[in-house]
Amino acid sequence: MLEKAEMSESETEPNRSHPNVPDIDQSDRHVPINLRQSGPTPVQMLISTRVRKSPFWHLAVEAGCWRATVYNRMYHPRGYVRPEDGGAMAEYDALVNRVTMWNVAVERQIRVKGPDAEAFVNYVITRDATKIKPMHGKYAILCNEKGGILNDPVLLRLENDEFWFSISDSDLMLWLQGVNVGKKFDVDIAEIDVSPLQIQGPLSEDLMAELFGDEVRTMPYYGLMRGKLAGADVIVSQTGFTGEKGYEIYTYDSTIHAEAVWYAVRGAGASYGLRVIAPAHHRRVAAGILSWGQDMDSETSPFQVNLAYQVPRKKQADYIGKEELERQRKIIDEGGFPFKMRMVGIKLGGQPITDYANDFWLISEPEGGRVGYVTSPWWSPELQTNIALCWVPHRLSELGTRLLVEVPEAYTERSGEPVAAEVVEVPFRPSVNPSARERAKARGRDWAY
Q: Is the distance from CB of 204 to CB of 237 less than 8 angstroms?
A: no
Per-residue burial over 14-50, b = 16 or more CB atoms within 10 Å of its CB, e = otherwise: eeeeeeebeebebeeeeeebebeeeeeeeeeeeeeee
Contacts of 439 (CB under 8 A, 6+ apart): none
Q: Which amino acid is at 98?
A: R
Give the total residue count for the chain.
449
Task: Give CA–CA dist 273/168, Å, rounded.
Answer: 29
Helices 117-124/172-183 angle, 10° precision: 110
Contacts of 369 (CB under 8 A, 6+ apart): 23
Helices 254-269/204-212 angle, 10° precision: 120
Q: How many CB atoms within 10 Å of residue 131?
A: 11
Helix (H) or strand (E) holding 437: helix 436-442
Q: Give the Å distances, CA to CA, from 21 to 37, 94, 309, 316, 390.
A: 9, 39, 33, 43, 16
Task: Give CA–CA dist 109/3, Å, rounded.
Answer: 52
R_g of the chain computed on alpha carbons: 23
Q: Give the Å distances, CA to CA, from 118 to 111, 114, 134, 159.
A: 12, 9, 11, 10
Q: Which amino acid is at 416?
A: G
Task: Give CA–CA dist 359/381, Å, rounded.
Answer: 22
Q: Give the Å distances, CA to CA, from 423 to 21, 110, 353.
A: 22, 37, 18
Q: Dihedral sign, CA of 345, 349, 350, 351?
A: positive
Q: Dihedral sign, CA of 144, 148, 154, 157?
A: positive
Measured in degrees and rounded to the nearest 5, phi and psi for residue 244 equal -90, 170
Confirm whether residue 191 is marked as ligand binding: no
Task: Give CA–CA dist 269/243, Å, rounded.
Answer: 20
Q: Which residues are annotated as a binding site for substrate?
A: 248
Q: Which residues are annotated as a binding site?
A: 248
